[in-house]
């Protein structure tokens, strides 16, 4: 974990005067009971610290939480993760295996529908999807090699406009139509990071690379994984639910006891505070720190982008789209509906629609479509949902919004009961203050020091006793993931233990 190599000198100096007298009573305060806060709690408890865990919600898990659809199947709600990104040395996969959590994946193929709503032949979909992903791979390589000289103003979209003509030259028949098809497919990048392809920084595109290996869909949800991660905190920490922090007060860079103020009027004193609030919350609450954060850390918080990826589950009595198993009409796994012309009343801006169907999972299959949407569409849908007074009205809106798309799937029959949705759920991250009014960190055009910004947030302010954790402080290969959140909490817990002579290699150096 080279990304976490930092100096503990300032934190050690800060604690030197009392380290011999109150090691056993050293009070650690962790704000946020998501994966990062829970993992940090576990590490600190293992090293004998007294830990208080505070959570604004009435439960543990933060953005990891489940709801039941009418079919009885559980799905991730709020801002819950659906995936394990990368299988090589991924602790979340280890936890999934330990808890016998079912995971699944589909063949490396996508079903694609064109602007008129007609399904594209599988051979064409594979051909152009391959070109699109080849360009993405080339962009990763180019960003890795030339990041220092790439202009901050260059986007992933700019790279596509240069590369696609090389792969589809003017000499090809219908080259303009073919290029346009690839460009439309490129727009799906937003469903990975929560922002449009033309806002994705090319200079720091390399920071979007994930852990090596396969991407697995967590078919059973993260429920059992969360229970295992939360167990140490449940058994050994003091937990304060429904308590929202509105100010963290330290003395200065010389250190001192920290005071944590809550919306309920409490003022709590601690020796170290680990803040796991989402990046979006940090962006909106720079006034929550006294004294103010140093300029370098403030700049880092404001510079890194924060996405607005949302999702909606829509369930049916039966998976009608799976009945036709011919190769060209088979709907299995991912499906993209490109720049639809046929829903002008609902979708005049022709936002792409992307979903993954859950009926063909090898385990925990159920007749549900999981739609991912982002950017301007996220803002529109969450804005409309926020206006509606009841679950019934929200469901009605979602059925109506997505009907132009699911009604174009094979075997859809308006009169068939099997084709009438019977349950849905949509996230509203943009309306969720505790989720930071968004999804997770990303890297947008204009970013000048993306890697240094991440490192600045990762370092935190140990000299003030203030540590930051969360997916935005993770190793570069795990930014924006549940694994990254888990690793970030683990790292901070070990760093604090080292600063107090309790961790491996915890040799204090005075400078």
CB 472, CB 76: distance < 8 Å: no
Average pLDDT, stretch 62-74? 70
pLDDT for res 385? 95
Average pLDDT, stretch 271-277? 94
Degrees, nearest 5: CA angle 32-36-41: 80
295 pLDDT more than 60 = yes
Average pLDDT, stretch 188-193? 91
509 pLDDT more than 80 = no
Average pLDDT, stretch 229-236? 96
At a CB cut-off of 8 Å and minimum separation 6, what does 305 contact? 195, 199, 441, 442, 443, 444, 447
Give the largest Cα separation in the chain, rounded.
80
328 vs 417, higher pLDDT: 417
Q: How confident is the model at residue 274 (pLDDT cuts 50, 70, 90)?
A: very high
336 pLDDT more than 60 = yes
Q: How confident is the model at residue 63 (pLDDT cuts 50, 70, 90)?
A: confident
Average pLDDT, stretch 399-425? 95
CB 404, CB 340: distance < 8 Å: yes
Gap between the Cα atoms of 233 and 264, Å rounded? 23
What is the homologous superfamily of the domain 2-61+222-304+443-499 according to CATH? Answer: FAD/NAD(P)-binding domain (3.50.50.60)
pLDDT for res 507? 37
The mean predicted confidence, pLDDT, of the chain is 88
Sheet holding 258-262, edge to edge: 267-270, 258-262, 245-249, 289-290
pLDDT in tens, 4-20: 333 333 444 454 444 43
pLDDT for res 84? 92
Sheet holding 423-426, edge to edge: 110-113, 334-337, 353-357, 368-373, 310-315, 423-426
108 vs 382, higher pLDDT: 382
pTM: 0.91
Q: DSSP string covering 225-260, please? A: HHHHHHHHHHHHSEEE-S--EEEEE--BTTB--EEE
Gap between the Cα atoms of 179 and 211, Å rounded? 30
At a CB cut-off of 8 Å and minimum separation 6, what does 208 contact? 140, 192, 193, 200, 442, 443, 479, 480
257 pLDDT more than 90 = no
Q: Of 120, 154, 46, whose CA–CA distance to 497 is shortest? A: 46
SS3 state at 71: coil
Q: Of 296, 225, 101, whose CA–CA distance to 485 is shortest? A: 225
Sheet holding 215-218, edge to edge: 83-85, 215-218, 103-104
- Strand residue runs (E) in 55-182: 66-68, 74-76, 83-85, 103-104, 110-113
Gap between the Cα atoms of 328 and 119, Å rounded? 8
Q: For residue 291, is the peptide bond before it cis, meaning its omega torsion is within 30 degrees of 0?
A: yes
Q: How confident is the model at residue 171 (pLDDT cuts 50, 70, 90)?
A: very high
Gap between the Cα atoms of 130 and 145, Å rounded? 23
pLDDT for res 437? 93
12 vs 56, higher pLDDT: 56
Sign, CA torsion 353/354/358/359: positive
Tokens in use for 407? 């009604």
75 pLDDT more than 90 = no
pLDDT in tens, 342-399: 999 999 999 999 999 999 887 778 899 999 999 999 999 999 999 999 999 999 999 9
């Amino acid at each position: 974990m080279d990304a976490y190599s930092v100096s503990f000198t300032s934190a050690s100096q800060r604690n030197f005067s009392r380290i011999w007298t109150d090691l056993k009573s050293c009070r650690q305060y962790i704000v946020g009971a998501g994966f990062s806060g829970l993992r940090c709690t576990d590490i600190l408890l293992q090293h004998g610290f007294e830990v208080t865990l505070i959570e604004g919600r009435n439960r543990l898990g933060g953005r990891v939480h489940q709801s039941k659809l009418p079919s009885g199947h559980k799905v991730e709600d709020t801002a819950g993760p659906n995936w394990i990104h990368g299988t090589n040395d991924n602790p979340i996969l280890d936890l999934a295996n330990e808890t016998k959590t079912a995971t699944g994946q589909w063949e490396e193929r996508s079903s694609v529908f064109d602007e008129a709503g007609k399904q594209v032949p599988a051979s064409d979909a594979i051909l152009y999807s391959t070109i699109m992903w080849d360009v993405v791979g080339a962009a990763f390589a180019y960003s890795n090699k030339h990041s220092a000289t790439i202009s901050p103003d260059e986007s992933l979209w700019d790279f596509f406009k240069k590369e696609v003509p090389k792969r589809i030259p003017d000499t090809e028949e219908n080259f303009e139509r073919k290029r346009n098809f690839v460009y439309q497919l490129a727009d799906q990048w937003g469903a990975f990071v929560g922002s449009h392809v033309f806002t994705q920084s090319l200079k720091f595109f390399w920071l979007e690379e994930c852990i090596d290996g396969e991407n697995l869909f967590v078919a059973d949800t993260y429920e059992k994984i969360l229970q295992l991660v939360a167990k140490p905190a449940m058994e050994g920490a003091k937990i304060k639910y429904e308590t929202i922090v509105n100010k963290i007060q330290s003395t200065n860079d010389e250190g001192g006891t920290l005071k944590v103020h809550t919306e309920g009027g409490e003022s709590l004193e601690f020796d170290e505070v680990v803040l796991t609030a989402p990046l979006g919350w940090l962006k909106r609450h720079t006034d929550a720190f006294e004294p103010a954060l140093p300029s370098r850390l403030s700049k880092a918080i404001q510079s890194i982008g924060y996405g607005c990826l949302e999702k909606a589950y829509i369930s049916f009595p039966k998976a009608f789209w799976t009945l036709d198993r011919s190769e060209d009409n088979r709907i299995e796994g991912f499906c993209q509906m490109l720049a639809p012309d046929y829903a002008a009343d609902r979708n005049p801006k022709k936002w792409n629609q992307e979903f993954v169907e859950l009926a063909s999972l090898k385990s925990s299959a159920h007749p549900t479509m999981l739609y991912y949407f982002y950017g301007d569409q996220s803002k529109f849908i969450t804005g409309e949902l926020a206006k509606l007074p009841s679950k019934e009205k929200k469901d009605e809106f979602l059925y109506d919004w997505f009907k132009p798309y699911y009604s174009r799937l094979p075997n859809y029959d308006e009169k068939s009961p099997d084709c009438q949705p019977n349950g849905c759920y949509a996230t509203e991250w943009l309306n969720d203050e505790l989720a930071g009014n968004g999804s997770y960190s990303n890297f947008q055009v204009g970013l000048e020091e993306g890697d240094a910004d991440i490192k600045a947030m990762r370092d935190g302010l140990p000299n003030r006793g203030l540590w930051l954790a969360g997916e935005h402080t993770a190793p570069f290969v795990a930014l924006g993931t549940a694994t990254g959140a888990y690793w970030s909490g683990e790292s901070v817990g070990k760093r604090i233990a080292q600063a107090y002579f309790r961790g491996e290699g915890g040799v204090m150096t005075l400078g």
